[in-house]
Chains A and B, each alone.
Chain A
């Protein structure tokens, strides 16, 4: 009864050849990384303080940035999906700006707003003594800035696809708007939130431009893995390869683990 999922017959070469080339283009660099890795000294290089520091900082900041994105991004996605207000299209476009903006520009923009003499940064510094640039908190902000659109877009898509009638059923059972969101809407879109959070986390983990611009490159404080890789490439290429392999491994492990659990069946 279900329609056939493919036409019978051989796929045309015109499509197959570029498809294979595309696959090679994506996979070959990774293979190159593995081939050129200094496997014999890998163990000793890994336990060097700088690598572990950078790795720890990367994991912590990416996770914190994802939490920040969840706290701010899920309500934003809900508002975009469920509240009708004038200019909703403009707001949606604004949300996606960090997606297309060069991250360096994002870093500059963050500096102009949250920098010591920035629009808000000056006031924060003067009133509370809080400064973000060149701090670990600054790394989190820079990562959250570039990663949040991934979460918002994913969650908004899930909310739009969710069956609104469940929310109606909850309403007839006496649930107010907040209870409906908490007990019905959010659990129903949980896979979308999880997928968005994974994308968001991966993007935050790899973030370079905004971080180095806004938070600088201080080992142990703001030097995340991508920054460490870039620096090492100039001074010690072998170390850069090792750091890259670590990042590759972390990304693959986390994505694979979460994919099976939440995203699955795609």
Chain B
């Protein structure tokens, strides 16, 4: 991205399960979320950036300096760990003052800087408390203050919200978003929660099996998923096929779907589960995208009911109301007609 500032890295790490090979950039002030399933290499990538795992190749440049030869303590990177890892034997204030002390600040100056950071994250009244006395949300804020107190050029956050319960998470996420917006350097955030990524990040990088599979703004990733994993995360049905004259052939020609997009060639086709309509018998005035499927599973999904449809011709997910489940007399294994309007599908280049 930019040669002048921010993060420009290529991370090559050899692991037993897979090799991580990831090019990653982040402009100053930009928040990049690394999103991926468990074991995809997200945390490994973050640890490689911090210098905590050895790299087999590549580089880590922050504001132009290559940090790869440097040990973790000389990289000037702030890291918020998954379980926060606040030192249990130090007070909250001493935890935050730890970094400035290591950077050579005097005891008093370090404590003053720490107190300012605690003030900024809104937890000054807990300065003399021990970490074990804090709630999850409070500990997260202290961890953030501790990482920011070293005045890092790059901020790394490993699952910063994963340890929180659903209720505190909302509040802490909003606060974290504010602090990230106020941070001048580049920030990289690891998460497996798409919602956290959408809310916190300016850009999302999806990795699977140690490789980048998608890179884009949250809106783009949500609208145009490029792998089954991303499609599941954002709750879309996704198919890959060939488009020709408004018709998309899926797989090896097992099925076709109409679309209103005028693309040609290899494409992805996506549609939302809520745009799928289900019928017991073949509907009259038949919509074009009509197929016969088998009900594989019926699950509660918020105030809707999620119906998993098994192929042939293809698997899909439909969201319907509880009332229509009763009306359609849906049950696992029963045959069903499914339809989706061409205008509800979204086609984009593969």
Residues of A within 8 A of B (CB): 163, 165-166, 168-176, 179, 183-184, 187-188, 190
Contacts and interface: CB of A to CB of B under 8 A. Distances in A.
Given A183-B98, A184-B87, A188-B88, A171 B72 contact: yes
Contacts of A172: 50, 52, 72-73, 75, 77-79, 147
Given A171-B73, A174-B102, A187-B89, 12 more contacts: A163-B85, A168-B50, A171-B71, A172-B50, A172-B77, A173-B146, A174-B73, A174-B150, A175-B102, A179-B102, A184-B87, A187-B87
A175 B52 contact: no
14 contacts: A166-B85, A166-B87, A168-B85, A169-B85, A170-B87, A171-B72, A172-B78, A174-B73, A174-B74, A175-B98, A184-B87, A187-B89, A188-B89, A190-B89
B38 interface: no
Interface string B52-78: 100000000000000000011111111
Contact of A173 (B51, B71, B83, B102): B102
Contacts of A169: 79, 81, 85, 87
A188 B90 CA distance: 10
Interface of B: 50-52, 71-79, 81, 83, 85, 87-90, 98-99, 102-103, 146-147, 150
A220 to B, nearest CB: 43
Nearest to A175: B102
A173 B85 CA distance: 12
Contact of B98 (A170, A188, A190): A170
Contacts of B147: 172-173
Closest 3 CB pairs of A and B: A174-B102, A173-B99, A171-B72
Given A171-B52, A171-B73, A165 B102 contact: no
Nearest to B75: A172
Contact of B85 (A165, A175, A179, A187): A165
A26 B318 CA distance: 73
The CB with the most chain B CB atoms within 10 A, among A166, A172, A174, is that of A172
A170 B86 CA distance: 10
Contacts of B74: 174
Nearest to A173: B99
Contacts of A188: 87-89
A163 B83 CA distance: 12
Contacts of A187: 87, 89-90
Contacts of B81: 165, 168-169
A176 B75 CA distance: 12
B99 A174 contact: yes
Contacts of B52: 168, 171-172
Contacts of A165: 81, 83, 85
A172 B75 CA distance: 8
A179 B71 CA distance: 14
Contacts of A184: 87
A171 B76 CA distance: 10
A207 to B, nearest CB: 33
A175 B75 CA distance: 11
A174 B103 contact: yes
Contacts of B79: 169, 172
Nearest to A163: B85
B89 A173 contact: no
A176 B99 CA distance: 11
The CB with the most chain A CB atoms within 10 A, among B74, B77, B88, B102, is that of B102
Contacts of B150: 173-174
Contacts of B51: 171
Contacts of B90: 187
Contacts of A190: 89
Given A165-B81, A166-B85, A184-B87, A173 B50 contact: no
B75 to A, nearest CB: 8
Nearest to A166: B85
A93 to B, nearest CB: 30
A210 B89 CA distance: 39
Contacts of B78: 172
A203 B73 CA distance: 40
Nearest to A186: B89
A183 B146 CA distance: 16
B105 to A, nearest CB: 10
B327 to A, nearest CB: 41
The CB with the most chain B CB atoms within 10 A, among A163, A165, A166, A171, is that of A171
A206 B87 CA distance: 38
A188 B89 CA distance: 7
A119 B74 CA distance: 45
Given A173-B146, A175-B98, A168 B87 contact: no
Contacts of A174: 73-74, 76, 99, 102-103, 150
A176 B98 CA distance: 12
A15 to B, nearest CB: 39
